[in-house]
Amino acid sequence: MGLAYLTFIPFIGAAFTTVSTRLGRYSSAWVAVITAAASLSLLLPLAHDVMAGQTIIQHASQWVPSLGLNIAFRLDGLSLLFTLMILLIGLVVIIYARYYLSPRDSMGRFYAYLLLFMGSMLGIVLSENIIQLLIFWELTSLSSFLLISYWQQREEASRGARMALTITGGGGLAMLGGFLLLGKIAGSYELSSILESGDMIRQHALYPYMLILILLGVFTKSAQFPFHFWLPNAMAAPTPVSSYLHSATMVKAGIFLLARFFPALSGTPEWTWIVTLTGLITFLTGAYIALFKHDMKALLAYSTISHLGLIVMLFGIGTPLAVVAAVFHIMNHAIFKASLFMLAGIVDHETGTRDMRQLRGLRKYMPYTALLTMIAAASMAGIPFLNGFLSKEMFFAETVEHGNSMALPWLLPLIVTAGGIFAAAYSIRIAHNVFFNGKAEDLPKIPHEPSRGMQIPVEILVGLCLLTGIFPAQIAGPMLSVAVTSTLQTTAPDYQLAIWHGVNPALIMSMVAVAGGILVYRSREALFTLQSRFDGMFEAKRIYNGAIRRLFNWSSSITMNVDNLSQKRMLWLLFVASIVMGASGFIVHDAPLAGARTMLPVDPMSAMVAFIMIAAAISTVVMHQQRFTALVLVSAVGLGVALTFIKFSAPDLALTQLSVEFITVVLLLLALFFLPQRTPDESDRLRQGRDIVIALLAGSGVAALSYAVLTREYSTIGDYFISNSVSGGGGANVVNVLLVDFRGFDTMGEITVLALAGIGIYAMLDKLKLLSPQQDEDGRPWNPDTHPVVMATFSRLLLPLALMVSIFILLRGHNLPGGGFIAGLVTSVALIVQYLANGVEWTRTKLPANTHPLIGSGLLIAASTGVASWYFSYPFLTSTFHHFHIPLLGDLELASAMAFDLGVYLVVVGTSLLILINLGLIHQVSYQPRITKKNLASPTTDSDTTPSRSAALKKVLPWKR
Amino acid sequence: MNHIVIAPLLLPLFTGIFLLLLREQRIYVKRLIAGASGIALITIAFKLLCQVSDGTILVYALSDWSAPYGITLVADRLAAWMVMTTSLLSIFALIYAMHGTDREGRHFHIMFQLQLFGLNGAFLTGDLFNLFVFFEVLLLASYSLLLHGGGRKRIRSGLHFVVINVVGSSLFLFAVGTLYGVLGTLNMADLAIKVAATPPENLVLVHSAGMLLFAVFALKAALLPFYLWLPSAYSQTSAPSAALFAIMTKVGAYSILRIYTLIFGDHAGPLANLLEGWLLPMALLTIIIGTFGLLGSKRLRQQVSYLVVISAGTLLTGFSLDSAAGIAAGLYYLPHTTFATAAMFLLADLISKRRGLMEDRLDAGYVITQQKFLGAVFFALAILASGLPPLSGFLGKFMLLQAALDHPAIVFIMGIVLLNGLLTVIGLARSGSLMFYEAHAVDKSTNTYYSQVSPEPLNVRELLPVFSLLGLCLAMTIGAGSLTEFTAKTAAQLLDTSAYIEAVLSKGAP
C-alpha cells in the first residue's frame, strides 16, 4: 500500500495547504515541504529493493472490476527515477517559490495547485493500470491549467492555460482511445501483461491506429512539433511553475510514456519513422527558434522543446544504447533546465524584466548568479565536465550509428550537428547576453543578488550538474542502470559512463557544435535582423488562435442558423421526420394497404356528414386567417365527429364530444378576444408550398394508416371487457366501467392532467394583465346590451334542470350512458351559460370563483377511493359493488367506482369553471380602467356595463401593463 | 399485498392534492410538506430498489385486473433505477427552489409534485396507453413549471415547447391506436408477444407504428432533428425547473430503451431491432450538433442546455449499441449526466444572479462576490460535465467506448465522443475564463450599466443542492464498482425479455 499512500499524500497535503494559510503566510510552504518529504520517506524503503533490481507491484483495490479498472501501483527503475525527480525537484521548487512569490500572491492556493500537480505526476509514473495512468495524466492537464492561470487576471495567463489544457487535454483524450485499443489487443489494462505481450501487440491489425492515438497523447504532452506551441505560452505561469513543469515533470510525462511502452510498442517501422522524425523536427525547430527569443523564459521554453525532441528522437531510433542516452538525458535535462528556469526567475525577480534586449552586464551586480547561470548554460550547451555533455555525446554517437543504416549516412549527423550549433548558440546567449555584453542600464529595478532562499535550490541543482558531469558512473550510474533495465525490460546493454571515449565522430560533432555555436552567436545581430523579417509568419500560436476563433464563430453561426427559435422550423422538421419514419414500414415491408375486410355500404346520411366534416376541415385551413370563422368551422368538424359517434352507437362518446366541443369553443372565444383577429403575414410562396406538401403528406399518411387499420380483421381484448363488465365491474355500461374500473388508473392520470391544466392556466393568468379593445377593428363600439334580459332569465330557469340532469347522468353512468366525466361537462356547460348570460361579476357573488377546493377534493376523493381498496388487501383502485334493497326505491346497486366517478365529476366541473372564470376576470380587470379613463371619449360605452363576451372577437393589442 | 410499486406515484400525487387543498398560504408550511414528501420519496425509491435488486420483477395489477386487461405497473431494476435517480434529483431541485423561486408564481410545489407523479408513472407503467397518459401529466406539469415566474421569453419558449409536444402526443396516439387496432392489446408484455407473432400482411402497420413511437420518444429525448425545442425552453426557465428537467429527456431515452428492447428487441421476429440504422446515427449527429451549440452559445444557461442535448446523444449512443455492455454503460451515464447538468443549471443561476445586468452572458463582466469560490465550483462541475477524469463523467464515457470497441461503427463513435469531450472542454474553459478570469474590478466611480453586481453572499440553500449533486457524482465515482455491477445486471434483465413477459402475464393478482 506504500505506493498508494505515496501518491495520495500530496492530494491530502493540497487540502491542508489551503486551510493552513490561516496560521500565517508561510505555513502553507511548510505543509508543502512536509508533504513532499513524507512522500519521499515512503519511497526510500522501497527504493532500496528497486535498486536491487526488483519490480514492486501493489494492488491497492478493485475499483471497477468489470471494466478492468483496478487501482494498482508499480515501482521499477524507470518509475523510481521519475518519482525521485518529481519529489526532489518538487522539493527544491517549493523552497524556491516560498521566496519568489510576492506578498500579493496567495501562497495557499499556489501550493495547493502545486501539490495537486505533484500528486498527479506521481500517479502517472507509479500506475500499473494504464487507465488509472490516464486519469492521472488528465489530472496533470487540469492542475497545470490551474498553475498556469495562477495569475488569473492576466490575459496571457488565462489564454496560455486554456491553450495548454486544450492541447494536452485533447492529447489525453486521444490517448484514451489508444489505451482502449491497447487494452483490447492485450486483453488487459495492466502494464505487467502489456509489457510482456509486445510481439502480439505489434502484429495486431489495430496496432497502427492505436500507436497513432497514443503518440498523439505523448507528443501533445511533451510539446512535440506541431503541438509544441502551448509550452512557450505556458510561460505566463509564475517561474517556479515553469521550472517544475517544464523541466522535470509535465512535459516529461510524454517522454515517460514513450519509455514505459517502449518494450510493447517500439521496433516497428511506424514507430521508428513517426517518433524519430517528430523528434528530429522538434529538436531542430526548437533549437532554431530558441535563439531568436528575447524573453529569457521563452528562450528556455523553446530550448526545452528542442531537448524533448532530442529525447523523443532517441526513443525513435530505439536501439538499446539510444535508450540509455535518452534516459540519461531525461535526468540531465531535468536538472540543468530546472536550475536555468530558476535563474531566469531570479533575474526577473531582481531586475523586473526578462527581456534580453534590455538586460546586459548583470555580472557586476550579481556575480554569483552569473556563475551559476554559466555552469548551467554550459551544461545545456554540452560542454565537457558537465552532465549535459555526457548525454549529448551519447546522442551524437547514436545518430551516427543510426545514420549508417540509411541511404545517406552523413545526412542525419549533419542535421543533428546543425541543431547542436543552435543549441550551443542559445546557451551562450542566455549567459553572455544577460551577464556580460556591456553595461546594465535602464532596468526597472536596481539589481542585486537574490535572497539565499532562492539561491540554495539553484546551488543544489547546479552542484548536481557538476558532480554528474565529473563522476558520472558514481553519481548517476546505478540509477541509470536500473532505469534502463526496466525501460527495456531486458538487461541493459554495455555502455560506459566516462568523460573521455577517445576521438570519435561524436566528439568531433560536439566540438563542431560548440565552435559553430560561438560563431552563430557572434553574428547574432545580423541573424536577428534577418529573422525579424519573418516575424509572425508560420507562427503556430497564430494558426491555433485563428482556428479556435473560427471554430467558435462557425459554431455560433451554425447554432444561430439552426436554432433560430422558429416554431415553424421545429414543426416541419418534426412532421417531415415522422412522415419518413412512419413511411419506413411501407418501404421495408411489401403488403397491400387495404386489409381483407369487406367495407360497409355507405348510406347517404353518413356520406353527407362525412362531406360536411371534410368541407369544414378544408375551409378551416383556407379561412385560418380569420380566426373567428376558423373557430366556427373547426367546431363544425367536432359536431360531425359527435354525429359519427351516434351513428356507430357510442352515446357516451357523443355526449362527451358535444359538451367538450361547447366548452372549448367558449374558452377559445374568450382567449381570442385578446388576440389579433387576423393572423400575421404568411411566409413566402416557396415555404407555403413546402408546408402544403408536408401537410398533405402528413394528412394522407394518417388517413392511410387509419384506412389500413380499419380494413383489417382484428381481435382485441375489447371482447373481454364486454363479457366481464357486469360480472367483474358491476356495471352494464362498458365505456364507464372501462373508465372507472378496467382502466381507472388512466382516468386518474387524465383528471390529474385536467387539474394541472386548470391550475396551470390559473397560475399563468395570475400576473397577466391584458388590455382589451374598446371597439372592433372597423371602429364600431361593442353592443351595449351585454346581458340580454331574456337570456339571463331563461338561463337562470334552466340551471336547476340542467344540474338535475347532470346528477342523473352521474348516477346512472355505471349502467347506462353517462358517468362522471359527461356529468361534469354538462354541469360546467350549465354554469358557463350563467356566466355568459349574467356576467362574471354577478355570477361570482352566487358561486365561488376559486374552484381550487373543488378540484382538490375531486382528486382527493378519486385517489382515496383507490387507496381504500388497500384496506381490503386489494390493489389500488380495485372496485367493489353491492346490491342494496332500499324500501320505496327498490333494488339499488352501489359500486365503489361511483365514488371515483364523483371525483372525476368534481375535477371536471372545477377545472372548466376555473379556466373560464379567470379568463373572464382578466376582461374585468383589463376593461375597467380604460372605461373610467375614456369615459367621455367613447360615449356609447356605459361605464356600469361590462362588455359583452359575445363581442369578444375583435382585434386587440395585447401588452402587459 | 405489496404496494411499494405504486408508492412512488401515490406519494407525490397525494402531496400535490394536499397542497392544493391546503388553505395555509404561508410558504414555509408548503416547503415543509414538499420537503418531507421529497425525503420520503427517496426512502421509498431506495426500498423499491432494494426489493428488485435481486432480479425480482414486481408486478402491480391496478384495479385488480390482471394483464393484459387491466393496467399493470411493473418495477424491474431499470424502473427502480430511474425512480431512484428522479427522487434524488428532485429533492435538490426542490431545496434550491426554496431559496425563492417557489415564491415567484403560484402553485410551484403542486406542479413540482405532480411532475414527479408523471415521471415516476412513466418509469413504472407497463402499459403503452398509460405511458401516454403519464406523458400528458408530464407535459402539463412541465409546461406550468416552465412558465413559472413568467416573463416574455419564457412564455415564448414555453409555447414552442407545448405546441411541439402536443404534436408529439398526437403522434403517440396514432401509433398506439394503430398498434391496438392491429394487435388488439396495450400491455407492453402482451405487445411483445403479439409483435413477435405479427402476420406478414400486418408487418407494415406494426413497423410504421413502431417508428412513429420512436419519433415521439426521440422528440422527448431531444434527438436530432427534434431537439430544437430544448435549448430555448431550458435556458429560459427558472433554475430549479431546468434542473428537474434534466431528467425529462431521460424519460424519452428510457422509453426508447424499454420499448425497443422489450417489444421491438431481439425477439421481435421480422421486426427485431427496429431501430437499427436509425438510433445510432441520430444519436451521434445529436452529439455533433449539440457540440456546435455548446461552442456557439452566448449565454451560460444556453450552453448548459446544449450539454443536455449532448448528454441525450451520448446516452442513446450507449443504448444503440444493442449490447448489454452498451446499455449498462448508458445506465451508469444516465444518473451522472442528470445530476451534472442539473448542478450546472443551478450554478449558472447562482452566477447569473450575482452578475447584475450581465446575468449569464458569456462575456467579460465585473468581479463578483466570492468569485474565486464560484470559479472553483464551476471548474469542478465543468470537469464533471465534460467527462474529464477522474469523475463519473469519465467513467461513463470510458464504459461507453469500451462497450463500443467491437461495434462496426467504432471509428465514428470513438471519434465523435472523444472530439466532443475535447470541444466541451474548450467551450467550458472559455466560458469559465470569460466569466471569472477576465472579469474587471468594479470601479465605483464609473458605475456603468453592467457594473452593478449584486453583493448577495452565497447562501446554504443555494449551495447545498449544487454540492450535493456534485457529491452524488463523487459517490457514483467511488462506488462505480458496485454500481456498474448493478447496471450490468439491469442490462441483462432488459435483454432477457422472457422474464419480464412471464412476470407480467403469468401474474394475475399479485
pLDDT in tens, B318-365: 999 988 999 999 999 999 999 999 999 999 999 998 887 888 888 888
Whether the CB of A134 is below 8 Å from some CB of chain B: the reply is yes
pLDDT tier at A948 (50, 70, 90 boundaries)? very low
Closest CB to A878 among B64, B178, B289: B64
Q: What is residue B363's DSSP assignment?
A: S
pLDDT tier at A677 (50, 70, 90 boundaries)? low
pLDDT tier at A814 (50, 70, 90 boundaries)? confident
Spell out which residues of chain B touch residue A15, defining contact as CB-CB under 8 Å.
none
DSSP reduced 3-state for A104: coil
Q: How far is residue A687 CA from its own chain's centroid?
A: 36
pLDDT at A938 over 60: no
Spell out which residues of chain A touch residue B405, defining contact as CB-CB under 8 Å.
180-181, 184
CB distance A286 to A306 below 8 Å: yes
Alpha-carbon dihedral sign for residues A59, A61, A62, A68:
negative
∠ at Cα B101 (B162, B386), nearest 5°?
75
Whether the CB of A708 is below 8 Å from some CB of chain B: the reply is yes
Where does a domain end: A466, A493, A522? A522
Give a yes or no: residue A621 inside a domain. Answer: no
- Distance (Å) from the alpha carbon of A283 to chain B's nearest alpha carbon: 28
Where does a domain end: A522, A543, A569? A522
**Range 875-894 of A in CB contact (< 8 A) with B:** 875-879
- Distance (Å) from the alpha carbon of B318 to chain A's nearest alpha carbon: 15
Contact yes or no for B21 and A857 at CB 8 A: yes
Give a yes or no: residue A459 inside a domain. Answer: yes
pLDDT tier at A958 (50, 70, 90 boundaries)? very low
User: Phi-psi category of A851—alpha, beta or left, where left has phi over 0 and alpha has psi -120 to 50?
Assistant: alpha
Spell out which residues of chain A touch residue B296, defining contact as CB-CB under 8 Å.
552, 555-560
- Whole-angstrom distance, CA of residue A929 vs CA of residue A943: 10
Closest CB to B1 among A142, A184, A870: A870
Q: Mind listing the pLDDT tens digit for each residue in A889-929?
A: 666 677 788 889 999 999 999 999 888 888 877 766 555 44
Spell out which residues of chain B touch residue A565, defining contact as CB-CB under 8 Å.
156-157, 160, 232
Spell out which residues of chain A touch residue B215, defining contact as CB-CB under 8 Å.
574, 577-578, 581-582
Q: Mind listing the pLDDT tens digit for each residue in A352-407?
A: 888 888 888 888 889 999 999 999 999 999 888 899 999 998 999 999 888 888 87
- Whole-angstrom distance, CA of residue B307 vs CA of residue B320: 20
Q: How far is residue A25 CA from its own chain's centroid?
A: 37
Contact yes or no for B292 and A567 at CB 8 A: no
Element (H, E) at A292: none
Spell out which residues of chain A touch residue B390, defining contact as CB-CB under 8 Å.
135, 138-139
Q: Which domain holds residue A866?
A: 715-961
List residues bridging with B73 in a β-sheet: B60, B125
User: What's the pLDDT score for residue B23?
Assistant: 75
pLDDT at A944 over 60: no
Alpha-carbon dihedral sign for residues A83, A86, A92, A94:
negative
User: What's the pLDDT score for residue B450?
Assistant: 61
DSSP reduced 3-state for A883: strand
Closest CB to B292 among A559, A756, A856: A559
User: What's the pLDDT score for residue B297?
Assistant: 93
Element (H, E) at B60: strand B58-61
Closest CB to B480 among A64, A152, A716: A64
Contact yes or no for B71 and A763 at CB 8 A: no
Spell out which residues of chain A touch residue B167, defining contact as CB-CB under 8 Å.
571, 574-575
Least confident of A526-535, A701-710, B223-232: A526-535
Find the residue in B nearest to A131 (Cα): B398
pLDDT at A715 over 70: yes
> Which residue in B228, B235, B307, B417 has the most chain A C-beta atoms within 10 A of its own C-beta, making it the best mutation to test that interface?
B228
pLDDT tier at A716 (50, 70, 90 boundaries)? confident
Whether the CB of A860 is below 8 Å from some CB of chain B: the reply is yes
> Residue type for B14, please?
F
> Residue type for A159, please?
R
pLDDT at A619 over 70: yes
- Whole-angstrom distance, CA of residue B362 vs CA of residue A93: 37
Contact yes or no for A552 and B150 at CB 8 A: no
What burial class does residue A721 get, using C-beta atoms within 10 Å of its C-beta: 0-12 exposed, 13-18 middle, 19+ buried?
Answer: buried
- Distance (Å) from the alpha carbon of A772 to chain B's nearest alpha carbon: 19
Measuring CA to CA, how many Å separate A729 from each of A117, A880, B94, B508? 71, 7, 41, 16
pLDDT, mean of residues A315-322? 92
Give a yes or no: residue A811 inside a domain. Answer: yes
CB distance A216 to A174 below 8 Å: yes
CB distance A824 to A866 below 8 Å: no
Contacts of residue A33, defined as CB under 8 A and 6 or more positions apart, other chains included, come to A91, A94, A95
User: What's the pLDDT score for residue A925?
Assistant: 56
Q: Mind listing the pLDDT tens digit for each residue in A252-307?
A: 999 999 999 999 999 899 999 999 999 999 999 999 999 888 899 999 999 999 99
Q: Mind listing the pLDDT tens digit for each residue in A73-126?
A: 999 999 999 999 999 999 999 999 999 988 888 888 999 999 999 999 999 999
User: What's the pLDDT score for residue A498?
Assistant: 79
Whether the CB of A589 is below 8 Å from some CB of chain B: the reply is yes
Find the residue in B nearest to A183 (Cα): B402
- Distance (Å) from the alpha carbon of B108 to chain A's nearest alpha carbon: 9
Give a yes or no: residue A180 inside a domain. Answer: no
Give a yes or no: residue A829 inside a domain. Answer: yes
Q: Mind listing the pLDDT tens digit for each residue in B190-218?
A: 999 999 998 888 898 999 999 999 999 99
Could you identify the residue written with the cell 531486458?
Answer: A490
Whether the CB of A755 is below 8 Å from some CB of chain B: the reply is yes
User: What's the pLDDT score for residue A769?
Assistant: 67
CB distance A128 to A192 below 8 Å: yes
Quickly count: other Cβ atoms within 10 Å of residue A405's Cβ: 10
Contacts of residue B469, defined as CB under 8 A and 6 or more positions apart, other chains included, come to B89, B92, B339, B340, B342, B343, B346
Quickly count: other Cβ atoms within 10 Å of residue A62's Cβ: 13
Find the residue in A nearest to B154 (Cα): A764
Checking DSSP bridges between strand A56-64 and strand A69-75, what pairing results, if any?
antiparallel
Question: Phi first, then psi: what are they for A381, rounded to 5°?
Answer: -75, -20
User: What's the pLDDT score for residue B500?
Assistant: 94
pLDDT at A952 over 60: no
Quickly count: other Cβ atoms within 10 Å of residue B40's Cβ: 16
Could you identify the residue written with the cell 446544449?
Answer: B306
Mean pLDDT across chain A: 86
Contact yes or no for B140 and A741 at CB 8 A: no
User: What's the pLDDT score for residue B207?
Assistant: 93
Could you identify the residue written with the cell 412532421?
Answer: A575
Report, in angstroms and rounded to the nearest whole number, the Rg of chain A calculated over CA atoms: 43
Percentages (nearest 5) of helix, strand, coil residues in chain A: 70, 5, 25
List residues bridging with B125 in a β-sheet: B73
Quickly count: other Cβ atoms within 10 Å of residue A864's Cβ: 15
Spell out which residues of chain A touch residue B177, defining contact as CB-CB under 8 Å.
706, 709
DSSP reduced 3-state for B127: strand
Reading the block at residue A737, the C-alpha cell is 366501467
- Distance (Å) from the alpha carbon of A863 to chain B's nearest alpha carbon: 8
> Which residue in A741, A743, A751, A861 has the most chain B C-beta atoms within 10 A of its own C-beta, making it the best mutation to test that interface?
A743
Angle between helices B27-52 and B77-97 (to 10 degrees): 160
Could you identify the residue written with the cell 545526412?
Answer: A411
Contacts of residue B309, defined as CB under 8 A and 6 or more positions apart, other chains included, come to B222, B227, B230, B231, B286, B289, B290, B293
Q: Mind listing the pLDDT tens digit for each residue in A410-454?
A: 888 899 999 999 999 999 999 998 898 888 777 888 888 888 889
Question: Phi first, then psi: what are they for A446, rounded to 5°?
Answer: -80, 120
Give a yes or no: residue A276 inside a domain. Answer: yes
Give a yes or no: residue A634 inside a domain. Answer: no
Spell out which residues of chain B touch residue A593, defining contact as CB-CB under 8 Å.
204
Contacts of residue B246, defined as CB under 8 A and 6 or more positions apart, other chains included, come to B89, B308, B337, B338, B339, B341, B342, B345
Give a yes or no: residue A895 inside a domain. Answer: yes
Higher pLDDT, A856 or A929: A856
Q: How far is residue A933 CA from its own chain's centroid?
A: 55
**Range 531-560 of A in CB contact (< 8 A) with B:** 548, 551-552, 554-560
Contact yes or no for A763 and B232 at CB 8 A: no
Could you identify the residue written with the cell 409555447?
Answer: B159
Element (H, E) at A56: strand A56-64
pLDDT at A882 over 90: no
Reading the block at residue A441, the C-alpha cell is 542600464
The DSSP line for A196-243 is HTHHHHHHSTTHHHHHHHHHHHHHHHTT-TTSTTHHHHGGGS-HHHHH
Contact yes or no for A875 and B225 at CB 8 A: no
Contact yes or no for A757 and B140 at CB 8 A: yes
Where does a domain end: A464, A487, A522? A522
- Whole-angstrom distance, CA of residue B152 vs CA of residue B290: 25
Whether the CB of A594 is below 8 Å from some CB of chain B: the reply is no
Contacts of residue A457, defined as CB under 8 A and 6 or more positions apart, other chains included, come to A92, A93, A95, A96, A339, A342
Percent of chain A at pLDDT > 90 equals 45
Which ranges of chain B have pLDDT less than 50? 508-510
Spell out which residues of chain A touch residue B209, defining contact as CB-CB under 8 Å.
585, 705
When divided into structural domains, chain A yields a total of 2
Contacts of residue A860, defined as CB under 8 A and 6 or more positions apart, other chains included, come to A903, B17, B18, B21
CB distance B148 to B104 below 8 Å: yes
pLDDT, mean of residues A719-731? 83
Whether the CB of A727 is below 8 Å from some CB of chain B: the reply is no
Quickly count: other Cβ atoms within 10 Å of residue B276's Cβ: 12
Contact yes or no for A575 and B6 at CB 8 A: no
Please report the number of interchain residue pairs, chain A to chain B, with beta-carbon separation below 8 angstroms: 353
- Whole-angstrom distance, CA of residue B308 vs CA of residue B337: 8
Q: Mind listing the pLDDT tens digit for each residue in A563-583?
A: 877 888 889 999 999 999 988
Q: What is residue A739's DSSP assignment?
A: I
Contact yes or no for A158 and B438 at CB 8 A: yes
Per-position b or e across A639-661, b if 16+ CB within 10 A of its CB: bbbbbbbeeeebebbbbbbbbbb
pLDDT tier at A943 (50, 70, 90 boundaries)? very low
Spell out which residues of chain A touch residue B232, defining contact as CB-CB under 8 Å.
563, 565
User: Phi-psi category of B471—alpha, beta or left, where left has phi over 0 and alpha has psi -120 to 50?
Assistant: alpha
Contact yes or no for A567 and B160 at CB 8 A: yes
Whether the CB of A870 is below 8 Å from some CB of chain B: the reply is yes
- Whole-angstrom distance, CA of residue B308 vs CA of residue B291: 10
List residues bridging with A894 in a β-sheet: A882
Closest CB to B510 among A66, A714, A875: A875
Whether the CB of A184 is below 8 Å from some CB of chain B: the reply is yes
CB distance B154 to B234 below 8 Å: no
- Whole-angstrom distance, CA of residue A930 vs CA of residue A940: 14
